[in-house]
Amino acid sequence: MKTHRFENGSLEKAKETEGAGFRRLAVATTGKALRNTPTQCATPARRAPRRGKTAAEEQVTTIKAKFDVGFGNTLTIRGEGQGLSWDHGQPMMCADGSTWVWSGHANGTEAVKFKVLINDQLWCRGEDFEAVAGGETEIVPVF
């Protein structure tokens, strides 16, 4: 906290005066500052109001892949949009024996182009899949 010091080592303080249903501050004379006086801490700190998230910022894109990869294997997803990359796969979560799920937070209306891989090595066949931002897409990949 920055304080303003005067030549004589004292601080300027304000006296609060009341009158006719309203309050006003009057300039006080220079003197030694008192610690923890109400006039020193009367003004609360102001903060900028928090901006709530819009519906587009809160949308979640969900992709479900229906494929039984066998015991000990996993499915990963690669692509573009919503944090995906064609270079490194992100793991999909196993929902049951043949359903794998990936979720990403939609940034506006950014669509997702993707492919799934077994153990992040074997690519599924065919064209790239596409998912709508904030929607749920279910695919059946062919390997």
Q: For a pLDDT cut of 90, what percent of the chain falls above it? A: 52
CATH of 57-139, one of 2.60.40.10, 3.20.20.100, 2.30.40.10, 1.20.1050.10: 2.60.40.10
E-assigned strands of 48-131? 60-66, 75-80, 90-91, 93-96, 99-105, 112-118, 122-123, 129-131
From CA 50, how far away is CA 52, in angstroms rounded?
6
Residue ranges, CATH 2.60.40.10, the chain: 57-139
Of the candidates 137, 135, 85, the residue with the CA atom closest to the CA atom of residue 110? 135
| Mean pLDDT, residues 23-51 taken together | 49
What's this model's pTM, rounded to 2 decimal places?
Answer: 0.60
Of the candidates 32, 35, 34, the residue with the CA atom closest to the CA atom of residue 5? 32
From CA 24, how far away is CA 42, in angstroms rounded?
12
Q: How confident is the model at residue 137 (pLDDT cuts 50, 70, 90)?
A: very high
Give the model's pLDDT for residue 108.
Answer: 76
pLDDT > 60? residue 22: no
Contacts of 119 (CB under 8 A, 6+ apart): 73, 74, 76
Q: pLDDT tens digit string along 55-104?
A: 545 689 999 999 999 999 999 999 999 999 999 999 999 999 899 999 99
Q: Is 101 exposed, middle or buried (0-12, 13-18, 19+ CB in 10 A)?
A: middle
